[in-house]
Structure 1
Amino acid sequence: MTIRLYWEDPYLTQFNCTVVEVCLIDQQPVAVLDQTAFYPTSGGQPFDTGHLGTARVLNVEEDASGKIMHFLDAQLATGPASGRVDWVRRFDHMQQHTGQHILSQAFVQVAQAPTLSFHMGRETSTIDLNLSHPSEELMEQVEALAASVVFEDRPVRVHNVRPEDLEALGVRKRSEREGTIRVIDVEGFDRSPCGGTHVRGSGEIGMIAILGYERYKGGTRVEFVCGGRALKTLRKDHDALKRLGKLYSASMYELPDLAEKFFQDRSDLVKQNARLQGEMLEFEARDLWREGVRLGGFVLVRATFSGRGLETVKLLAQKIVAQGEAVAILGLLEKTAQAVVARSTGIPGDCGAIVKDVTVKRGGKGGGRPDLAQAGGIPADNLEAWLTDVERHFGK
């Protein structure tokens, strides 16, 4: 079993070791050491990276026997070696993980909502909570409590205890591990079994910021950042707001009201545009009906368009047949063609059945109601023949 130096000192970044085993796993060189400062992916915390001798450490995993495997970009020989952990990545993970402990305890104290799982991503982290009714007010209370623990710079200590002593220690969650259990103690606030790397004092976290939350599998998923990630997020958000402020010639604090007004104005314009389009389609439908071919007791209107949406063409067809007894056979020509067929209620014929029949012969796919049907995927060079076949059905 590999000795875990990161448990003894999470701030250790350079160490000497012996490569005791080398192999290839899926064609990638792997080294096993007698002792290591590289943390393997575990408990929601990703692996460390760095160098082992001249090789780059790309991934670190622990197998079922407790052997820690270092996946490298080059093969090493067995024997003495030295390792160097990427400190920027390690400290980032320490900030996120200790911050998660504080945030999870804050949710317990404020909302009696235990953490069910934790995931540390590349840019943000998430915790899944047994919380059915999240709210902005609750998030603010939790965030404020977590911030106070950070500002107080409470010591973070490690206790190694027997399983039977966990309950007396007052841990936030139980552990299923056997043997000595490692407990992370944020003084006077949280105690939790954990094998991850953590800061020495809560002040080193700097900041814990909740970015958002969503309902997830009957509970709540909370997205957050700590430390350097929180600062990076603050800068990015602040820069985005400043840019928006310049576009609106306003301060960033005026943006919510301006955005609300913008969307209200946009909604009004959309409604006005829809009304005007409806009026224009009404005039167009009237003209097309007047220019249509009289066949016995109804008017047949046939036309082909391009650059118009199918929904617009469908609405036009409905307005045409509303002018009087009529059949509207309208094509829409783009890369592939579409068509709409509509009839007034007093005219015999099943538009849906006719469309299905013609698509079998001319291509495409479609169907619909007896009074309104549509087809799509018609080969563009078949559109006029397709419309002619439909016209013949009504001209019988």
Structure 2
Amino acid sequence: MAYQCQRECYQQQFSTTVVSCIPTEQKLEVNGRKETVKGFHVVFKDAILFPEGGGQPDDRGVVNDIPVLRVTRQGADALHFVTSPLPEGCEAHMKVDWERRFDHMQQHSGQHLITAIADIEFGYKTTSWELGRQRSVIELDTPGLKPEQMEFLERTVNEKIRASVPVNVKEVSVDDPLVEQVRSRGLPDDHAGPVRIIEIEGVDSNMCCGTHVSNLSHLQAIKILGVEKGKKNKSNLIFIAGNRILQYTDQCFSVEKALTSLLKTGPEKHVEAVDKIQKSVKMLQKSNLNLLRDLAVLTAQAFKSDPKRGKLFTLHRKEGDNEFMNIIANEIGTEETLIFLTVGDEKATGLFLLAGPVEMVDSLGPRVSEMLEGKGAGKNGRYQGRANRMSRRSEVTTLLQESLELHSQQEE
């Protein structure tokens, strides 16, 4: 079935009637997390909101002021997921989120154009594509594209845009001879109704269910951002079209201004300035690491030289890592001393190490990890891991002292 959104891609409002409304639930992204939402699948006599398909995401919009959160296709039906019921037979007024729709039209028609020119000029077939939230990716059946090929491809597609080439939509029956002549990856198993063909005049004819611009001039421009190595000896061509280019330019300029302010140098020297900073940071990190190692050795030696030292050594440092803690444990020795070391935030997250006699560490390690609300593992007298509640270090120290006293009593 061809929906109203496919017959009139530029139409933004539409009135129809409700055919069915069935309770269901859908997994949706809520505040960056997948959650199961209860609602209803509504089928209308016709639909102006496009259900996902052909590599194009679904539309968003409202029906009688009720937000439509997903639109999917099931056979000939477009299922609209809403959280409020709509009675069967009632009139429904639909409004499409036009900014999202037109963006998808630009990216999808842009993909058709790039795919066609890449095939015509280089013989590179498109094996799949993804219309992403910020940029789109076309998978080409070639191990790579040369810089001059990308330059030619971008120049040629933009020439077609400036020439205002029309884009036409045809609907034909499944047994029409034209179906066999156009570019296609085949019809889905549950396809119903006529076959839809998108024709870029003089350039390409392709079987497609998506929404498209009526003229290439509506794409405004196409920018090929680059090519990355893909799977199975293929290449991923990354591009943006239309309004996304304007948004991308705004973002790039904002970043450029911020970097100019931070680096105190013009855009032409940003890379050089960042490179110098990275080298300086590496040198400082190396020096810091050496100092931490020296500090670890000195800390251990100070404890060992203390005539009043006990059988428990505890230490917390905001700066440090696992190597810092292990150096201390190695220098002190763990045959007679129980060592509890932590690094990181004093109250929140960090790393911990419990080292000492094997039997005591095997017994106390999991309890220490639990008290710190962390995760850890150990063997051979070492138990270490990540802690999420460093504020309980004093409680751990008390536990260790009590365990040492009990151990001494048992030995006597």
Shorter-chain TM-score bucket reads 0.7 to 0.9
The corresponding residue for 1:12 is 11
Aligned runs of 1:268-279 on 2, under 5 Å?
268-279=283-294
Secondary structure of the equivalent of 2:317? coil
Secondary structure of the equivalent of 2:113? helix
Aligned runs of 1:30-69 on 2, under 5 Å?
30-33=42-45, 35-52=46-63, 57-64=68-75, 66-69=76-79
The corresponding residue for 1:254 is 269
1:288 aligned onto 2:294: no
Q: 1:142 to 1:303 in 2, by over 3 A?
A: farther
Q: Give the deviation of 1:94 after TM superposition.
A: 1.0
Secondary structure of the equivalent of 1:306? strand
The corresponding residue for 1:155 is 166
Q: Deviations over 1:55-77 (max 9, x none)?
A: 5555443332x133445556256
Contact 2:260/2:270 (<8 A) preserved: yes
The corresponding residue for 1:196 is 210
The corresponding residue for 2:400 is 383
1:331 is matched by which residue type in structure 2? F
Distance in structure 2 (CA, Å) of the matches to 1:392 and 1:337: 28
- Higher alpha-carbon deviation: 21-30 or 187-196: 21-30
Contact 1:55/1:74 (<8 A) preserved: no
The corresponding residue for 2:361 is 355
Q: 1:131 to 1:289 in 2, by over 3 A?
A: farther
Q: Give the deviation of 1:262 after TM superposition.
A: 0.7
The corresponding residue for 2:314 is 304
1:183 aligned onto 2:217: no
Q: 1:53 to 1:307 in 2, by over 3 A?
A: closer
Secondary structure of the equivalent of 1:291? coil
Q: Give the deviation of 1:209 after TM superposition.
A: 3.4
Q: TM-score, normalised by structure 2?
A: 0.72
Aligned runs of 1:80-119 on 2, under 5 Å?
83-108=94-119, 112-119=123-130
Q: 1:268 to 1:151 in 2, by over 3 A?
A: farther
- In structure 2, runs of 5+ residues without a counterpart are 25-38, 371-375, 388-392
Q: Pick from 15, 20, 23: which aligns with 2:21?
A: 23
Secondary structure of the equivalent of 2:305? helix
Q: 1:390 to 1:107 in 2, by over 3 A?
A: farther
Q: 1:29 to 1:186 in 2, by over 3 A?
A: closer
Q: 1:301 to 1:293 in 2, by over 3 A?
A: farther
1:317 is matched by which residue type in structure 2? A
Q: Give the deviation of 1:78 after TM superposition.
A: 2.5
Contact 2:314/2:339 (<8 A) preserved: yes
2:108 is matched by which residue type in structure 1? H
Distance in structure 2 (CA, Å) of the matches to 1:217 and 1:271: 37
- Higher alpha-carbon deviation: 312-321 or 360-369: 360-369
Instruction: Give RMSD over aligned pairs.
Output: 4.2
Distance in structure 1 (CA, Å) of the matches to 2:307 and 2:142: 64
Distance in structure 2 (CA, Å) of the matches to 1:280 and 1:332: 14
Distance in structure 1 (CA, Å) of the matches to 2:61 and 2:360: 69
Q: 1:275 to 1:107 in 2, by over 3 A?
A: farther
